[in-house]
Chain A
């Protein structure tokens, strides 16, 4: 046994923490998870918890608004992009476009050109985003790998520039007075209290997780992993790869649109600056940082990418430098992401040049 092997072997006994968790009786596991979910619903109050608060609080800005305006959005976007990049293996650098379409659809139908209630914006905006995904996907999904990346990047920019130059879409000034969600029982969606928005947004996140878990274990999920690992082989085995790629695109787009609806309903104002190209890159960073192809990784990644620059506010104008360095360091020391995909950890990543 070489020195290297000894070192590697030493990390193994430590692995049992989570295998012990899965060995627990079902009831215990479920109640632990339930507790965790309840704790997450109270996330806006975490800064008041002694030790946790010291770690998580964002100095110089308000944690619960960061939670609703950025972390919630990034988590949803990372979940959606993870379907496209992580599950189907399609590199999308223009994902912010679908977020924009969701937000603009909401703005148009609740403020700019119609006076519909916010709740109606959810199905309409999600459908519009999904259609946009299909419209973009149909001609472009035949492209492979990085060609797709640059074309989608262009798509995201086209959406933003169109919004910026079209009076109908509010041009550069943007659209204001977008409706907030209606009052649901004790939850009043106003301007100052952001807690209801978190309850709503976190419920949306749970719903998306539920949906994606079902999808992943279905025929669609298996088709995606076949496409991702070897597209040609999948095609030969009779998988209609184009159809499943288009599905991934549409579902990812729908989740992006949903995030747009939530954002527009929370802040009540959007302008094209909300949908810069850099955001697409940060969304991708969230997915990869967390662990490409792993839903829970995407959630952690989305949280970190949104939260870190706010947490680093004490560095003042150096905080984005520190954020950039942190990205490099995480990738150097943990290239599969913080919570990698299981199959990736088992060996696929070692082959190296799989295309995601």
Chain B
């Protein structure tokens, strides 16, 4: 009797492999959920490919969607202009998980058609994957990983399209110094959120009277809300992402806290923050190294996706365009693309793009936005 197990085990394994193998046979026909409904120019004989690395599934999957949309927008435009030398986007989903990043990076490196990478999406996976890209000499342009240490690793392939956290934190804190008497600081214990919150705390100094940390996966922030309420703060800085910021804004308002909520670039999302929190978000301040994108870009996005551009949409549109410009300029291999990216100097949808020696974009101002009548509106540049 016991030996039948091996055979049955074989049968189960065979069945699973069959499932796996069968789905492998139709890789092209698998539906692409992010593809727009309107007819995009197809690319049957691509001359090159751009790799995107980031989170498409899992808890962070929502953040990846605007990135892919931005990249697809740029590539479809390019393909419409250059139908004979079209380019495709290849997605490498890591769920934002550093453990899955090296495998994705390896796959991209081994795919000889890929001449440049846009991403990695998060700082953690950048730390795990960028050493591989560096070794392979494959240029990366990230539009979202803002950790303040990434540019100091000496990676030649590293390029970033927005200012890092070390620049943003002090800028927003300096602004708060001029308006806030008592400030509270909350973070989400993530690398990004805590880094930003710590920078704000250091710069604001004794004006910070209450601090707390929330668990972004939890639904209830009442402990933090209570703390802010009893400390009687007039401004609350939140270091974290828009989904929690919306929850926090609503719960603060419900508890009768009238302090102004202030957030970083992770909060700047029209649908995810301003629309989601509705009246509770009114008056909230948001700092961001990003700009909405030119009116032209917004119009193109709205025509294609029928919505306002999501967070990092403009950055990934630009990132794709940086690599596309290199390909259009005649770069045929990775070294040539890397050189072309380093020399890139042009206006993008989000800002003027030119990379410094460490890979950070030189034109990286910090801009202040405010939610006015439900819309995130530009106010001023801050230093």
Contacts and interface: CB of A to CB of B under 8 A. Distances in A.
Among A61, A190, A334, find the residue whose CB has the most chain B CB atoms closer than 10 A: A61
| Interface class of chain B by DSSP | helix
A271 B124 contact: yes
A176 B124 CA distance: 10
B23 A269 contact: no
A195 B245 CA distance: 44
A218 B367 CA distance: 69
B27 A59 contact: yes
A271 B191 contact: yes
Given A165-B189, A271-B127, A65 B103 contact: yes
Nearest to B215: A161
A339 B6 contact: yes
Contacts, number: 177
A326 B107 CA distance: 26
Given A273-B97, A316-B32, A338-B12, A62 B136 contact: no
A55 B20 contact: yes
A334 B190 contact: no
| Interface class of chain A by DSSP | helix
A105 interface: no
A340 interface: yes
Interface residues on B, range: 35 or more
B131 A17 contact: no
A112 B110 CA distance: 32
A56 B26 CA distance: 15
Given A69-B103, A267-B98, A16 B57 contact: no
Interface stretch (A116-124, A237-245, A307-315): A307-315
Interface in B323-342: none
Contact of A333 (B7, B12, B103, B190): B12
A192 B135 contact: yes
Given A59-B24, A345-B2, A173 B99 contact: no
Contacts of A225: none
11 contacts: A56-B17, A60-B91, A62-B104, A62-B107, A65-B105, A192-B136, A267-B102, A273-B98, A308-B16, A336-B5, A346-B2
Interface of B: 1-9, 12-13, 16-17, 19-21, 23-24, 26-27, 30-33, 56-58, 61, 90-93, 96-100, 102-107, 109-110, 123-124, 127-128, 131-132, 134-136, 147, 149, 153, 189-191, 194-195, 213
